[in-house]
């Protein structure tokens, strides 16, 4: 391996492992109030698979790959749009309460 | 142009991290959610630009169709859902995320292996790492999907009222299914040289994953569903990451890994709150008693009273602590609780709310509900802070909580909830327990508190009982 460039898989693996550590570091301390919104927000982020679905759905034909790709875009978008909206609804109530007090 | 697109995608990754960080602090949480949403938008736009540059004849029919239909369905769900059904909603969305990752992997298989009709094993066509991660994406995504749907049904109580379903030989069955998933997945990636065989094996792998998702979640009781949903949330992140490996997309890998880590941390926090290990939760069967569910749940010496009696005692109370639980959510009684609290405060009493970390069906569930009813943030007190206060409290009112106030957790090492931290409501001078019946909570065990001398049951729907107390209180 010396002197060689890392293959795309190995680069991906580095990125994966480091991102997991970042995830642990960012989220270690969370007040219980925020557990549900955080879970919901993280859930919305897992809809990121929508960009993978884009890659799968680039042709306009009715092939198996395209139909599956379109389905994946649909399900992932439900996750993204629904997830962020629901999280915002929850957090908006916390905001309202702070103003009142 | 390509560089600009890549910088946009990098910016998106940074914003995801930033957004998650802000989401974990009360003051910045809402902004954090918005930042994460912006990151998602950048990721989507950046990826579309990237594809447009790479693929000259790019067609947007399926993409736009999926986006529009998905956005409408997601928005309608999100806007219509009642605050009390939030946990179910998160489980459903989570299931869809996992499903999407599994379908992405299937689609890529058809696009790059089946439709070009290339000869050789999948590993030979795509390379070894994509062949492995493709299978993993289907496996983890499939488990996430059916597991989340079962969790949703258990949260709703439609599936055997959330009770554990224990199949004979289930551990062996799961192990066999796990092994066959590895076998079929291995055959799919490295064994099958003919397309028809690869297709059969990938369909087999998909089916095994879906069955496994169901079998892994059905033995787990409804009370443990928050832990399960949180863990499945972590899975859906991992599934997305695996899909990222298949198509070699760093942003997909990063965001998926972030969610994978976040879900795992939350899962851990919840297990600690219940004083149980994750393994103990996942093995399932919690709350199913060998002696039969009826045997030890008979009560003697339970006293009960009506709203008028309760109102009389509340009239002279100087300090009142409300202990909300899932029953509050079911009865939608948060506004009524708040109304009664305001009356008590006007009467000179000090009112607080004791929040057990696992009260409700989701961590923070009670906070969300009470916030909806405009309860001031300072009145919500966490367990460790409020527990010493109970002995100086005149009246505690338990609204639809059960296992989290059961003193047996301190006393009986044989109890399934032994060692779980509870709210010490039994230390207060009087305890009212608003509950529909003496039926056990999700742990499926008798609650000793109901027999204590200072405890009084007020039977009925939480909202009606509280409304009754309000009416009586006003007439005093």
pLDDT values of chain B reduced to their tens digit, one per residue, 476 residues: 789 999 999 999 999 999 999 998 888 999 999 999 999 999 999 999 999 999 888 899 999 999 999 999 999 999 998 877 888 899 999 999 999 999 999 999 999 999 888 878 899 999 999 999 999 999 999 999 999 999 999 888 777 666 778 888 888 999 999 999 999 999 999 998 888 999 999 999 999 999 999 999 998 877 778 788 889 999 999 999 999 999 999 999 999 999 999 889 888 877 776 667 888 877 776 655 433 343 455 787 788 888 888 888 898 899 999 999 888 888 888 999 999 999 999 999 999 999 887 777 666 778 888 888 888 888 888 888 999 999 999 999 999 888 889 998 888 887 777 778 889 999 999 999 998 888 777 677 788 899 898 998 999 888 999 999 999 888 87
Cβ–Cβ contact B142 with A under 8 A:
no
Give per-residue pLDDT as tens, A2-49: 456 678 899 999 999 999 999 988 877 677 677 788 889 999 999 999
Q: What is the pLDDT of residue B446?
A: 83
Partner residue facing B59 (CB), from A31, A59, A73: A59
What six digits make up the tokens of B334? 């948060």
Beta carbons of B393 and B424 less than 8 angstroms apart = no
A52, pLDDT greater than 80: yes
Q: What is the pLDDT of residue B306?
A: 87
What does the alpha-carbon distance between residue B75 and residue A89 come to, in Å, rounded to a whole number?
Answer: 12
Which of chain B's residues have a Cβ under 8 Å away from the Cβ of A92? 30
What does the alpha-carbon distance between residue B93 and residue A92 come to, in Å, rounded to a whole number?
Answer: 20
Instruction: Tell if the CB–CB gap between B26 and A31 is shorter than 8 Å.
Output: yes
Minimal-distance CA residue of chain A relative to B260: A20
| Neighbour count for residue B158 (Cβ, 10 Å) | 10
Instruction: Tell if the CB–CB gap between B357 and A16 is shorter than 8 Å.
Output: no
CA B399-B404-B409 angle, 5° bins: 145
So where are chain B's domains? 1-80, 81-283, 307-475
Cβ–Cβ contact A92 with B under 8 A:
yes
Q: What is the dihedral of CA B122, B124, B130, B132, to 10 degrees?
A: 70
Sheet holding B395-399: strands in order across?
B380-382, B350-355, B319-324, B395-399, B430-435, B455-459
Q: What is the dihedral of CA B36, B40, B42, B48, to 10 degrees?
A: 170
What does the alpha-carbon distance between residue B370 and residue B349 come to, in Å, rounded to a whole number?
Answer: 19
B307-475: CATH topology is: Rossmann fold (3.40.50)
Q: What is the pLDDT of residue B261?
A: 92
> Across all residues in chain A, what is the average pLDDT?
85
Q: What is the ipTM of this complex?
A: 0.92
Beta carbons of B121 and B406 less than 8 angstroms apart = no
Q: What is the pLDDT of residue B374?
A: 86
Q: H/E/C letters for each residue in chain B? A: CHHHHHHHHHHHHHHHHHHHHHHCCCCCHHHHHHHHHHHHHHHHHHHHHHHHHHCCCCCCHHHHHHHHHHHHHHHHHHHHCCHHHHHHHHHHHHHHHHHHHHHHHHHHHHHHHHCCCCCCCHHHHHCHHHHHHHHHHHHHHHHHHHHHHHHHHHHHCCCHHHCCCCCCCHHHHHHHHHHHHHHHHHHHHHHCCCHHHHHHHHHHHHHHHHHHHHHHHCCCCHHHHHHHHHHHHHHHHHHHHHHHHHHCCHHHHHHHHHHHHHHHHHHHHHHHHCCCCHHHHHHCCCCCCCCCCCCCCCCCCCCECCHHHHHHHHHCCCEEEEEECHHHHHHCCHHHHHHHHHHHHHCCCEEEEEECCCCCCCCCHHHHHHHHCCCCHHHEEEHHHHHHHHHHCCEEEEECCCHHHCCHHHHCCCCCCCCCCCCCHHHCCEEEEEECCCCCCCCCCCCHHHHCCCEEEEECCHHHHHHHHHHHHHHC
Q: Which residue has the tokens 């030979």?
A: B124
* Total domain count, chain A: 1
Question: Could you tell me the residue range of the domain that residue A57 belongs to?
Answer: 32-100
Which of chain A's residues have a Cβ under 8 Å away from the Cβ of B110? 63-65, 68
Give the global pTM: 0.81
Instruction: Tell if the CB–CB gap between A82 and B86 is shorter than 8 Å.
Output: no
Q: What is the pLDDT of residue B287?
A: 53
Q: What is the dihedral of CA B166, B168, B172, B176, to 10 degrees?
A: -90
Buried b (16+ CB within 10 A) or exposed e, B65-83: ebbebbbebbbebbeebeb
- How far B305 CA lies from chain A's nearest CA (Å)? 33
Q: What is the pLDDT of residue A6?
A: 73
Partner residue facing A32 (CB), from B69, B129, B355: B355
Q: Which residue has the tokens 């029919």?
A: B61
Q: What is the pLDDT of residue B269?
A: 79
Minimal-distance CA residue of chain B relative to A79: B93
Beta carbons of B379 and B405 less than 8 angstroms apart = no
| Neighbour count for residue B344 (Cβ, 10 Å) | 24
Minimal-distance CA residue of chain B relative to A33: B364
Instruction: Tell if the CB–CB gap between A16 and B74 is shorter than 8 Å.
Output: no
Q: What is the pLDDT of residue B364?
A: 74
Beta carbons of A49 and B49 less than 8 angstroms apart = no
Which of chain A's residues have a Cβ under 8 Å away from the Cβ of B249? 51-52, 55
Instruction: Note whether residue A7 is domain-resident.
Output: no
What six digits make up the tokens of A72? 């994946």
* Segment 49-68 of chain A within 8 Å of chain B by CB: 49-61, 63-68
């Amino acid at each position: 391996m010396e002197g060689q460039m890392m293959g795309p898989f190995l680069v991906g693996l580095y990125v994966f492992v480091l991102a997991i550590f970042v995830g642990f570091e960012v989220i270690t301390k969370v007040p219980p109030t925020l557990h549900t919104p955080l879970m919901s927000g993280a859930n919305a982020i897992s809809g990121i698979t929508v960009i993978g679905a884009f890659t799968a759905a680039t042709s306009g034909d009715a092939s198996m790959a395209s139909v599956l790709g379109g389905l994946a875009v649909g399900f992932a978008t439900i996750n993204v749009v629904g997830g962020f909206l629901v999280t915002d609804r929850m957090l908006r109530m916390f905001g309202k309460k702070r103003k009142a007090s | 142009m390509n560089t600009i697109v890549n910088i946009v995608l990098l910016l998106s990754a940074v914003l995801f991290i930033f957004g998650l960080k802000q989401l974990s602090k009360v003051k910045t949480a809402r902004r954090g959610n918005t930042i994460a949403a912006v990151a998602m938008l950048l990721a989507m736009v950046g990826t579309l630009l990237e594809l447009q540059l790479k693929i000259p004849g790019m067609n947007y029919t399926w993409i736009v169709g999926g986006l529009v239909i998905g956005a409408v369905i997601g928005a309608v769900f999100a806007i219509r859902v009642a605050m009390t059904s939030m946990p179910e909603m998160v489980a459903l969305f989570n299931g869809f995320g996992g499903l999407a990752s599994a379908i992405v992997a299937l689609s890529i298989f058809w696009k790059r292996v089946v439709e070009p009709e290339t000869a050789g094993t999948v590993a030979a066509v795509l390379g070894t790492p994509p062949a492995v991660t493709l299978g993993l994406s289907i496996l983890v995504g499939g488990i996430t999907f059916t597991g989340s749907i079962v969790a949703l049904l258990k949260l709703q109580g439609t599936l055997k009222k959330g009770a554990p379903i224990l199949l004979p030989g289930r551990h062996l069955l799961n192990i066999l299914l796990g092994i066959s998933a590895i076998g079929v997945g291995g055959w799919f990636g490295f064994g099958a040289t003919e397309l028809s065989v690869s297709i059969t094996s990938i369909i087999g792998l998909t089916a095994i994953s879906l069955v496994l998702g169901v079998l892994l979640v059905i033995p787990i009781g409804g009370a443990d569903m928050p832990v399960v949903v949180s863990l499945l949330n972590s899975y859906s992140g991992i599934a997305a990451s695996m899909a990222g490996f298949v198509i070699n997309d760093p942003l997909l890998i990063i965001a998926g890994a972030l969610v994978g880590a976040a879900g795992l941390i939350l899962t851990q926090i919840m297990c600690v709150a219940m004083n149980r290990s994750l393994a103990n939760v996942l093995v399932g069967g919690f709350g199913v008693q060998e002696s039969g569910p009826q045997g030890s749940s008979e009560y003697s010496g339970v006293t009960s009273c009506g709203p008028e009696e309760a109102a009389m005692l509340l009239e002279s109370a100087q300090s009142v602590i409300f202990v909300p639980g899932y029953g509050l959510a079911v009865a939608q009684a948060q506004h009524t609780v708040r109304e009664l609290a305001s009356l008590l405060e006007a009467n000179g009493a000090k009112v607080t709310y004791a929040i057990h970390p696992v009260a409700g069906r989701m961590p923070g569930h009670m906070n969300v509900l009470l916030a909806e009813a405009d309860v001031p943030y300072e009145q919500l007190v966490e367990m460790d802070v409020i527990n010493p206060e109970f002995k100086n409290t005149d009246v505690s009112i338990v609204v639809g909580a059960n296992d989290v106030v059961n003193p047996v957790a301190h006393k009986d090492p044989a109890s399934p909830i032994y060692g779980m931290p509870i709210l010490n409501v039994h230390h207060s001078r009087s305890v009212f327990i608003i509950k529909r019946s003496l039926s056990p909570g999700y742990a499926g065990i008798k609650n000793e508190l109901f027999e204590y001398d200072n405890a009084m049951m007020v039977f009925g729907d939480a909202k009606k009982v509280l409304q009754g107390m309000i009416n009586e209180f006003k007439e005093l």
